[in-house]
Chain A
């Protein structure tokens, strides 16, 4: 069936708001592209300031993704396999950073890891360690905000995966670790990949929690989004150029994923 023809057969009360929605989402992006200083783009993007921010963004977002994978996959397994973690409250807790304003996330992280925070006070008074204003703080902020994407994606895949494969392997004498490594992980592998990429993209765009919790200092905590905000005060064209780069990266990621996120992998 021709897709365009199918769309045309929708009644007006579906077609009109639908098209308005597309315009609403597309216009700001088109505006950004229209204002981008394409001529001087390369020069703007290879300046020392931008490269420093770009490098910091890449390393911190990859580190945050690694943290999310190492902690998030076990959490997703617990949520689907353990009664204690399968309850609604764990799901709510995992979803919370998705809907919490990132600035609130930053304040909450200070309340936990700041030097007057729950855990931060122990670190500071016991060991003289202060987390805020370090690159580690950036990774923590990004992981806090981005991990839900991975957990929810992997959890969805686990719930829809066929447990009979695992049961068969166990019946044949495979140990639990072997079952997990040889059966469970390969089954949910594509969803882990999709969740990790989405998590990475969210970490790359993190702004509010990072600024509040980690501060903004070139080379240490000023990631790309923070550099965009700082550039907005002096050089609008540079801010737009940086925004376009972030936009292109996000679009490439989403196109690459082809809708495989949040619902898990559909076969």
Chain B
């Protein structure tokens, strides 16, 4: 009978589902999800952490904060979450998945242009109209929300050719010289200083972006997660963040 075969298949499926649980004796991996703009700084901090914790490896997952928050709220196995906006962190706290989120850094926006500044961009005012092709983040993601806030504060407007899903996409388009200008965080400009030129925005400090870090409630290694957060908020992590261009929280 077909029904019998289906029952056997269902049992096999359950057996498969059960074999993925950790046995506890293997090497421990700490899963850290962090906003794209933290790529360089958190990679260095993770190296420090692994040096201090033999046998522990840190798995870093960088993406747009909203996508990371979405993953955590959907039950992804994440121990530490660091977002580039307090709003995004709020969606995780509201879902009951964040343990004590705390600010650890700030970032400000800047204009990046391809090396040599071919379009002659000198400030935000040059980014309106169709002469200068500009890439910015979509307003739905933190860097885009910060861009919108900055434009509102300065009264300037930008005519973008693309609203990208994360800040690294904007930067990549400037590095590839496919756009004349992009609005990114100063930390992104600092990390690619050899490939792009920076045109600072004097008013950028009026709309800083807060970075928050938290342990995820379902973390399988809460003590390690807290250790990692202590490293980020402590002198070592803060020095790494300052070197990358982040401001104090």
Contact = CB atoms under 8 A, between A and B. Distances in A.
A133 interface: yes
Given A7-B5, A233-B67, 11 more contacts: A16-B5, A16-B8, A20-B16, A215-B163, A215-B173, A216-B138, A216-B165, A217-B160, A217-B161, A218-B163, A234-B66
Contacts of A230: 138, 140, 163, 165
B162 A217 contact: yes
Contacts of A222: 163
Contact of A114 (B141, B163, B178): B178
B165 A133 contact: no
Interface residues of A, number: 32
A39 to B, nearest CB: 22
Contacts of B125: none
Contacts of A114: 176, 178
A110 B176 contact: yes
Contact of A233 (B6, B141, B161, B173): B141
- Tell me what chain B mostly uses at the interface: helix, strand, loop, or mixed: mixed
B223 interface: no
Interface in B15-33: 16
A232 B162 contact: no
Interface of B: 1-2, 5-6, 8-9, 12-13, 16, 64, 66-67, 70, 133, 135, 138, 140-141, 160-165, 169, 173, 176-179
Nearest to A8: B2
Given A8-B1, A115-B178, A19 B6 contact: yes
B13 A23 contact: yes
Contacts of B176: 110, 114, 116
Contacts of B6: 19
Nearest to A19: B9
Nearest to B16: A20
Contacts of A7: 2, 5
Nearest to B9: A19
Contact of A217 (B2, B16, B70, B163): B163
Nearest to A21: B9
A8 B165 CA distance: 49
Contact of B162 (A110, A116, A221): A221
Interface in A213-266: 215-218, 221-222, 229-234, 236
Contacts of B9: 15-16, 18-20, 23
Nearest to A220: B161
A168 B109 CA distance: 72
Given A7-B2, A16-B12, A233-B138, A215 B161 contact: yes
Cβ-closest 8 pairs across A and B? A215-B162, A19-B9, A233-B140, A133-B161, A233-B66, A234-B140, A8-B2, A15-B5
Contacts of B8: 12, 15-16
Given A216-B164, A217-B162, A110 B13 contact: no
A172 interface: no
Contacts of A218: 163
Contacts of B140: 230-231, 233-234
Interface in A19-63: 19-20, 23
A12 B5 contact: yes
A229 to B, nearest CB: 6
Given A8-B2, A115-B177, A133 B162 contact: yes
A89 B12 CA distance: 43
